Amino acid sequence: MTAFIIFICLVLLAIVIIQVGKVTELASKIKGEEEAQYQSNFWNSNLSLIFMVVFLGAIFVSAYYYKNSMLGYGPHIAASKHGKTIDFLFNVNLWFTGIVFVLTHIALFWFAYKYSGKRNHRATFISHDNKLEIIWTAIPAAVMTLLVVGGLDAWNDIMADIKEKDEYIEIEATGMQFAWLLRYPGADGKLGTRDFKKISSNNPFGQDWTDTKNLDDIHASEIVLPVGKKVRVRITSRDVLHSFFLPHFRVKMDAVPGMPTYFVFTPTTTTAEYRQRLSRYNEWQEPSDPKDPESKPRWQVFDYELACAELCGKGHFSMRRVVRIVSEDEYVQWLKTQKSYYTESIKGTADDPNAGGQVSAEELKLRRETFLAELEKVKTQAADAGEKVVQLGHIGFETGSAKLTTESKYQLDNLFEYLQSNADVKIELGGHTDSTGDAAANLKLSGERAKSVADYLISKGIDASRVSSKGYGSTKPVDSADTEEARAKNRRTEIKFL
Ligand SMILES: [Cu+2]
């Protein structure tokens, strides 16, 4: 109904305008065409002058009125290192273009007023003016060169990637319709590899779970960063163009499907400091919920945000994420509360290609520490406390063969490291089997297996005189019970200090 009424109104308005036009035409015919033209010129030139005053006045009044809401002014000075350069450049450009804007608009409307058609006035004919043309070409050219060169210099600085010696945190943001997916590298500080073909509902980044760098990666629901630390954001997209936009940090970079981009920046103001800054301005004292005058003032609920700056579809608005800048301590605390996505959602499920026992970097670290501590303890134990033996609990062989499994290398590398830093240590590697099957074959296999461990160490550079190997077959069981558990215990590889 409302639409219908509006339609009727528009039709009536059109009829009114046509009728007014007809009346004016008729009036001019009565008064004479020329007289009517002069009168119209008079009104138009005067009105354009009034328009100029109102228009320029409104620009300055609105700029002043909104000064504390615009990025770069009032409380909104940049919260990042490079942001200050951008704001400075922006202001330099604003001054130059602002002065030109005001002058040209005054000239435009003043000329329209001053030289409007009047009775007995004739225009002077000027074909061209060399001096004038040189001036209006040279001055803008010089100013433009200055601005562009200055801007290019800043651009190269701001867009530079991490340098080799830099200390930084790398995180990843992937745009999708309609959310930002965020990834942190976990304890190893490295983001694992991805493959778009592996993307599924429970693998949103398409992480490759056979890459150990992926096992400790964290999927975060907000961006939390320590103040004063360099951050490199890897930016990618899963579907259409998005744009990674952190307005308060003057960070903006397109997320392009199939073409990873990045941005390096250093936050300089924590969320708490920014709120304090806002609290000094009247606009930010208003209640945060306009319907509830008792709600907290706006400055108290302020948060930095990550937005999408590319109109990427109908859910574009929902790509907002909160960004928190905190102290180094708070950052470490927050990181501790975050769980690796692999451990939480993939490990042990049907999607886990490591069901065979691939281990996370954290677990490897723990195993290494335990193993080295045990070696040290056994090495230094009293001479009368029995044989100095340590089991290699985390190595394995392929069935019926002396070929080491790939996972064995972690513990063997720890052993190698130990032998390297303890040059006085000589060891014997002993292979043991359970008592099932042919005893002679067991003896042979256990010898080969012990030898392949010794060979691994020698191939890495340990002197062959320090590492010997021996197969014991089933002659030295540690558990004589007739259970699978006992048999598993007996199948082992041991290190004996000599
Ligand atoms: Cu988007």
The residue type at 207:
Q
Q: What is the Å distance from ligand 1's center to 269 Cα?
A: 26
pLDDT value at residue 357: 52
Three-class SS state of 492: strand
Least Cα distance to 389 among 356, 415, 428 occurs for: 428
Q: CA–CA separation, 407 vs 212, rounded Å?
A: 11
How remote is the CA of residue 412 from the centroid of ligand 1, in Å?
Answer: 48
Helical spans, DSSP H, in 205-344: 271-278, 328-337, 341
Distance (Å, rounded) from C-alpha 391 to C-alpha 481? Answer: 20
Q: What are residue 105's DSSP bridge partners? A: none
Burial of 383 by CB count in 10 Å (0-12 exposed, 13-18 middle, 19+ buried)?
exposed
Q: Is the pTM of this model over 0.75?
A: no
Report pLDDT for 150. 86
* Residue 412 DSSP one-character state: H
CA 181 to centroid of ligand 1, rounded, Å: 11
Q: Which residues contact 295 (CB under 8 A, 6 or more apart)?
A: 287, 288, 289
Q: Cα(264)–Cα(232) distance, rounded to whole angstroms?
A: 4
- The angle subtended at Cα 353 by Cα 350 and Cα 356, nearest 5°, is 100
SS3 75: coil
Rounded Cα gap, residues 75 and 339, in angstroms:
36
State the distance from the centre of ligand 1 to the C-alpha of 58, rounded, in angstroms. 34
Output DSSP code: residue 465.
Answer: G
Q: What is the pLDDT of residue 145?
A: 93
Number of neighbouring beta carbons within 10 Å of residue 79: 26
Rounded distance between C-alpha atoms, residue 176 and residue 242, angstroms: 8
CA of 216 to the centre of ligand 1 (A): 27
Q: What is the length of the chain?
A: 498
Q: Calculate how far, in angstroms, residue 367's C-alpha sits from the geometric centre of ligand 1.
A: 43
Phi, psi of 178 (to 5 degrees): -135, 90
Q: Please give the Cα distance from 114 to 125 (Å, whole number).
A: 17
C-alpha 87 to ligand 1 mean position (Å): 25
CB 279 within 8 A of CB 217: no
Could you tell me if 212 and 360 are in contact, meaning their C-beta atoms sit under 8 angstroms apart? yes
Question: How many CB atoms within 10 Å of residue 191?
Answer: 20
- Collapsing DSSP to helix, strand or coil, 280 comes out as coil
Sheet holding 223-226, edge to edge: 223-226, 321-326, 304-308, 242-246, 251-255
Q: Please state the φ and ψ torsions of residue 165, each to the nearest 5 degrees.
A: -85, -5
* 8 Å CB contact between 306 and 265: no
pLDDT < 70: residue spans in the chain: 31, 354-361
What are the tokens at 55?
A: 């228009």
Q: How far is CA 278 from CA 81, 283, 286, in A?
A: 19, 9, 11
- Cα(246) to centroid of ligand 1, in Å? 13
CB atoms within 10 A of CB 14: 10
CA-closest candidate to residue 429, choices 373, 381, 497 = 497
313: phi > 0 → left, psi -120 to 50 → alpha, else beta; which?
Answer: left
C-alpha of residue 149 to centroid of ligand 1, in Å: 32
Query: CA-to-CA distance for 309 and 244, rounded, in angstroms?
Result: 7
Task: Please tell me the distance between residue 305's alpha carbon and the centre of ligand 1 in angstroms.
Answer: 14
Using the mean position of ligand 1's atoms as its centre, give its distance from the Cα of residue 241 in Å: 7
Instruction: Find the radius of gyration of the CA atoms of the chain.
Output: 38
Q: Are 263 and 244 in contact (CB under 8 A)?
A: yes
Ligand 1 centre distance from Cα of residue 455 (Å): 55
DSSP label at residue 493? E
CA distance 368 to 375: 11
The per-residue pLDDT for 476 is 84
Helices (H) and strands (E) in the chain, counts: 11, 14
What's the CA-to-centroid distance between 204 and ligand 1, angstroms?
16
HSE of 118, CA atoms in CB hemisphere, 13 A: 9
